């Protein structure tokens, strides 16, 4: 009998934000598979005595194959992502792998939700996501750059609050500046912009600024950036996107 294959999200970092359902999957697992930096985020006691497989970034296919191999060998297997596994995480790849291998009816797949970086970042910044928002990853590893830029342009024109994931890497350090410049074409210089680096991890850094004053250099690959819409404003040192209660009810 194959074991159950679970794909979980660890949340942004702190174990206090690991969802109880994900925690119980980890506790019951016979095997745990993940990107090596995320495996380091898991409480070592939860990994003790289990079959473990970790590998670096860009080895996602290999990790997926290994996890399926463990599950087929009868181990309850957990694949870990950061944040939520279904948001730029491992859930889609595992599902696609099972589909391609014709294993959808053989392996019992469970995808367990987690707290994504966009929720963690929003909470630390105030309440920037109270109205419609678009989440866009600036990583062009799997997505063509023109597609990314088109999505930013459409989100700016649609007046969405914009969450930018993967804002920077060593190979691409100009995209965030371009995204902020596109936003500034339609939104005023006072539009709030938040930079959250390492949310709910020991070296957390939260910066609230505006389109006119922010510096793309503040971001790295551990940062999530939130750009307010035309109604967003600063409330003290927090970012607020009003939903419209006071306009409607006074
Ligand atoms: N599955 C994850 C996203 C992984 S993509 C989720 O649901 O959040 C990796 C990107 O997520 C990083 O480049 C960064 O933009 C963001 N990210 C992940 N964890 C973060 C954290 N603790 N603080 C800030 N940004 C984070």
Q: Residue 3 CB: number of other CB atoms within 10 A?
A: 19
Residue 57 has a pLDDT of 87
Q: What is the mean pLDDT of residues 39-59?
A: 94
pLDDT-based confidence at 170, cuts 50/70/90?
Answer: confident
Share of the chain above pLDDT 90, in %: 96
The ligand 1 atom at the shortest distance from the C-alpha of residue 164 is 15
82 lines ligand 1 (CB under 6 A): yes
- Picking from 221, 107, 98, 234, the residue whose alpha carbon sits closest to that of residue 171 is 221
DSSP, residue by residue, 208-239: EEETTT--GGG--TTEEEEE--TT-EEETTEE
How far does the centroid of ligand 1 lie from the alpha carbon of residue 246, in Å?
Answer: 33
Q: What is the mean pLDDT of residues 171-181?
A: 94
pLDDT at 159 over 90: yes
DSSP, residue by residue, 74-130: T--EEEEESB-TTSSSSHHHHHHHHHHTT-TTTS-EEEE----HHHHHHHHHEETTS
Instruction: Give backbone dihedrals phi and psi of 30, rounded to 5 degrees, phi first.
Output: -95, -25
211, 227 Cβ separation under 8 angstroms: yes
Q: Domain 118-240 falls in which CATH fold? A: 3.30.950
Looking at every residue in the chain, the average pLDDT score rounds to 97
| Helices and strands of the chain, counted as H and E runs | 9, 13
Residue 105 has a pLDDT of 98
Q: Residue 172 CB: number of other CB atoms within 10 A?
A: 16
Residue 250 has a pLDDT of 84
Residue 130 has a pLDDT of 98
Q: What is the pLDDT of residues 123-134, one digit of tens each?
A: 999 999 999 999
Q: Domain 5-115 falls in which CATH fold? A: Cobalt-precorrin-4 Transmethylase; domain 1 (3.40.1010)
Q: What is the mean pLDDT of residues 219-233?
A: 97
Supply the pTM of this predicted model. Answer: 0.97
Alpha-carbon span 190 to 199, nearest angstrom: 24
Q: What is the pLDDT of residues 184-213, one digit of tens each?
A: 999 999 999 999 999 999 999 999 999 999
The ligand 1 atom at the shortest distance from the C-alpha of residue 86 is 1
Q: How do the domains of the chain map onto residue ranges? A: 5-115, 118-240
Q: What is the mean pLDDT of residues 235-248?
A: 95
pLDDT at 172 over 90: no
pLDDT at 8 over 90: yes
Alpha-carbon span 143 to 148, nearest angstrom: 7
Q: Among 93, 121, 222, 225, which is best to mutate for testing ligand 1, by the most ligand atoms less than 8 A from CB?
A: 222
The ligand 1 atom at the shortest distance from the C-alpha of residue 118 is 8
Alpha-carbon span 152 to 2, nearest angstrom: 43
Residue 83 has a pLDDT of 98
78 lines ligand 1 (CB under 6 A): no
Q: What is the pLDDT of residues 56-85, one digit of tens each?
A: 988 999 999 999 999 999 999 999 999 999
Residue 169 has a pLDDT of 86
């Amino acid at each position: 009998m194959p074991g159950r294959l679970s794909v979980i999200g660890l949340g942004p970092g702190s174990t206090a934000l690991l969802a109880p359902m994900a925690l119980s999957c980890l506790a019951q697992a016979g095997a745990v598979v993940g990107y090596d930096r995320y495996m380091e985020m898991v409480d070592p006691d939860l990994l003790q005595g289990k079959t473990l497989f970790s590998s670096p970034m860009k080895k996602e296919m290999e990790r997926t194959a290994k996890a399926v191999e463990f599950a087929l060998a009868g181990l309850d297997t957990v694949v870990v992502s950061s944040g939520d596994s279904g948001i730029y995480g491992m859930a889609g790849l595992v599902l696609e792998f099972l589909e391609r291998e014709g294993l959808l009816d053989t392996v019992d797949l469970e995808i367990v939700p987690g707290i994504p970086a966009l929720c963690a970042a929003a909470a630390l910044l105030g309440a920037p996501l109270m109205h419609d928002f678009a989440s866009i990853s600036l990583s062009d590893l799997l997505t063509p750059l023109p597609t990314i830029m088109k999505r930013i342009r459409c989100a700016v024109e649609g007046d969405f609050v914009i969450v930018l994931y993967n804002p920077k890497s060593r190979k691409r350090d100009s995209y965030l500046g371009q995204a902020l410049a596109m936003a500034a074409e339609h939104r005023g210089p006072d539009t709030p912009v938040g930079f959250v680096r390492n949310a709910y991890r020991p070296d957390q850094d939260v910066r609230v600024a505006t389109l006119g004053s922010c510096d793309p250099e503040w971001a790295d690959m551990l940062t999530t950036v939130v750009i307010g819409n035309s109604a967003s404003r600063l409330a003290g040192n927090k970012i607020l996107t009003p939903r419209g209660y006071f306009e409607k009810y006074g």
